Amino acid sequence: MWRTSGARGRSTCRRPQRFFQHVRLPEDGAAPVIARLAGGAADRRMLVLDRTNRKIGETEVNLLLPANRTRHSQVPLMAVVLDRVGNSGTPERIALMQRYGAIFGQEGIAMLLADREFVGEDWLNWLDRKDIPFTIRLAHHRFVTRADGCKVSLATQITLHKQGRRTTATLDGMARPLHFAALKPKGGERVIVATYRTGHDALATYRKRWAIESVRPTHSNRWRSGPHSATPRPAA
């Protein structure tokens, strides 16, 4: 799950690996050590919330985890083993973020990045109440309410809005409006991301979700970056 870009990123991953060959810490006790070894800003971290399947021996394990996004690597800090296959639920995400907050403080989250699995009104409203800034991808068929009270699909709102790729509307079930930005990569599907941050370049931030996916392409990646590129490009 350690994702890297280039020699410096691989070096970032090897430092914690060497350390934990000789040290055993209690649950979550490793998180501050991993964060320090990974580098990056200590007080304002960009987190990527992710879910991944890994095989341990003959057992398939479904993991939910927050990863510290640094310039050269994406480093998991802790994890929850889900007791089922498939997507995570809001209670599991909240519990994991509370664990993170107990160690690092939720006020230290500069931005939380996540893909389309990590949506739902209860989850997004919880992030809003906790004042955790987020940039999350949404499915284009989600419905929003415009300022005039009309309800349309998110794809329709993006298409009709005179500013083209950017618009503001209230997602169904949300307490206040969100800012949306959209991009359709050549040969790919449209990407729509949401954030509360006014004037925030949500697409540029969301690209960092994939900026270190450069070692090898996978079928799940919509964006890839070259080994010497900090900005991802649409997958062919």
- pLDDT for 38 beyond 80: no
What pLDDT digit, counting tens, does each position of 70-129 carry? 776 778 888 889 988 889 999 999 999 999 999 888 888 999 999 999 999 999 999 999
Q: What is the pLDDT of residue 125?
A: 94
What percent of the chain shows pLDDT beyond 70? 72
Is the pLDDT assigned to residue 5 strictly greater than 60? no
The domain limits of the chain are: 1-112, 115-236
Residues 1, 61: Cα–Cα separation, whole Å: 12
pTM reported for the whole predicted model: 0.74
What per-residue confidence (pLDDT) applies to 24? Answer: 62
